[in-house]
Structure 1
Amino acid sequence: MNNNIEGEIKDLLYESMQLKEGLLENKSFKSRFFKLIEKLNFDMMNGDDNFFGLFLIQLKREIRLDIASACESAAQLSNFVIYFNPYIFLKCSALEMQALIKHEIYHIMYNHIKQYKILSRKYSDTAINTAFDISINQYVNNLPAWSKTIENVKLSYNVDLEYDKLPEYYADKLQKSINKRINSKGKKVNGKNSKGNFNEFDVVYSHDLWKESISKFDYEQIDSLTEKLVRNSAKGKLPRKVEEYIKNLNRKAEISWQDYLKKIAGTLPHGYKKTITRRNRRQPERYDLRGQLSNHIIQIVIAIDISGSMSDGEFDSALLEILSILSKHNYEITVIECDNRIRRVYKLKSKRDLRKRVETKGGTSFSPVFEYMNKNKMKDHFLIYFTDGMGEKELTVKPQTKKILWVLTGQKGDLSLIRKIGLVKKLKNHVEEKFEIYRDVLFNRGDWMSNEWAK
Structure 2
Amino acid sequence: THNGWQESKTSQQISNQVVRLANIKQILNRSWRQTPQRDRGLLPGNVRSQLQKVQKTKIVDWRQVFRHQFGLIARGQVNSHARFNRRQPLRMDLPGKVTRLDPAIDIFVDNSGSVTDQEIVQTLTTLEKMLKKTKLTANVYSFDARVTTKQKLHDGKKLDFRRTGGGGTSFQCIFDYLHQHHLTKRNRIIIIITDGWGEERINNYHYQNVYWLMMTKANQLSVKEPPGRVLEMRG
Q: What is the TM-score with the length of structure 1 in the denominator?
A: 0.35
Are 2:228 and 1:425 equivalent residues in the alignment? no
Query: Share of identical aligned residues, percent?
Result: 25
Deviation at 1:421, TM superposition (A): 0.8
Query: How far, CA to CA, are the matches of 2:163 and 2:221 in structure 1?
Result: 23
Tell me, in whole angstroms, the C-alpha distance in 2 between the residues paired with 1:268 and 1:277: 20
Structure with more helix by fraction? 1
8 Å contact kept, 2:113–2:166: no
How do residues 24-103 of structure 1 correspond to structure 2 at under 5 angstroms?
A: none
Aligned match of 2:62: 257
Specify whether residues 290 and 254 from structure 1 end up closer, same or farther in structure 2 by C-alpha distance, changes over 3 A only. same
1:99-136 CA-to-partner distances (Å, cap 9, x unmatched) read: xxxxxxxxxxxxxxxxxxxxxxxxxxxxxxxxxxxxxx
1:379-432 CA-to-partner distances (Å, cap 9, x unmatched) read 2311111011111222245143x211101123684222222210001121xxxx
Counterpart AA for 1:423 = R
For the 8 Å contact 1:409–1:426, the answer to whether it is kept is yes
Larger Rg: 1
1:386 partner letter: I
Q: Greater RCO between the two (CA within 8 Å, min separation 6)?
A: 2
Aligned length: 180
- Partner residue in 1 for 2:172: 367
Q: What TM-score, normalized to structure 2? A: 0.64
Question: What are the equivalent positions in structure 2 for 1:116-135 lying under 5 Å apart?
Answer: none
Distance 1:352 1:287, change over 3 A: closer
Supply the distance in 2 between the matched residues of 1:310 and 1:351 (Cα, whole angstroms).
Answer: 26
Distance across 2 between alignment mates of 1:308 and 1:272? 41
- CA change 1:308–1:278 in 2 (3 A) is farther
Q: 2:161 aligns with which of 356, 368, 387?
A: 356
Structure 1 residue 328, shift from structure 2 partner: 1.8
Matches within 5 A, 1:68-217: none
Alpha-carbon distance between aligned partners in 2 of 1:308 and 1:273, rounded to the nearest angstrom: 44
Structure 1 residue 314: deviation in Å? 0.4
SS in 2 for 1:370: helix
Residue of structure 1 in register with 2:147 after alignment: 342
Is the 1:370–1:399 Cα contact (8 Å) retained in structure 2?
no
Q: Name the residue aligned to 2:222.
A: 416
1:387 aligns with 194
| CA shift in 2, pair 1:353/1:372, >3 Å | farther
Retained in 1: the 8 A contact 2:146–2:173? yes
Q: Is the 8 A contact 2:141 2:150 kept in 1?
A: yes
Q: Distance in 2 between matches of 1:256 and 1:359?
A: 29
1:303 aligns with 2:108: yes
Unaligned runs of 5+ in 2: 1-43, 47-51, 86-90
Query: Per-residue deviation at 1:315?
Result: 0.4
* Preserved CA contact (<8 Å) 2:107 2:140: yes
For 1:426 and 1:308, locate their aligned partners in 2 and report how far apart those are by CA, in whole Å: 18
- Give the deviation of 1:303 after TM superposition: 0.6
Give the counterpart letter for 2:80 in structure 1.
Answer: K
Q: Judging changes above 3 Å, is the alpha-carbon distance between structure 1 residues 370 and 292 closer, same or farther for their aligned structure 2 residues?
A: farther
Measure, in 1, the Cα distance between the counterparts of 2:122 and 2:210.
20
Match of 1:316 in 2: 121
Partner of 1:326: 131
Distance 1:423 1:314 in 2: 20
Aligned equivalents of 1:257, 1:302: Cα separation in 2: 14
Give distance in 1, aligned partners of 2:216 and 2:124: 17
1: CA distance, partners of 2:192 / 2:156? 19
Distance 1:397 1:349 in 2: 27
CA distance in structure 2 between the partners assigned to 1:352 and 1:254 by the alignment: 32
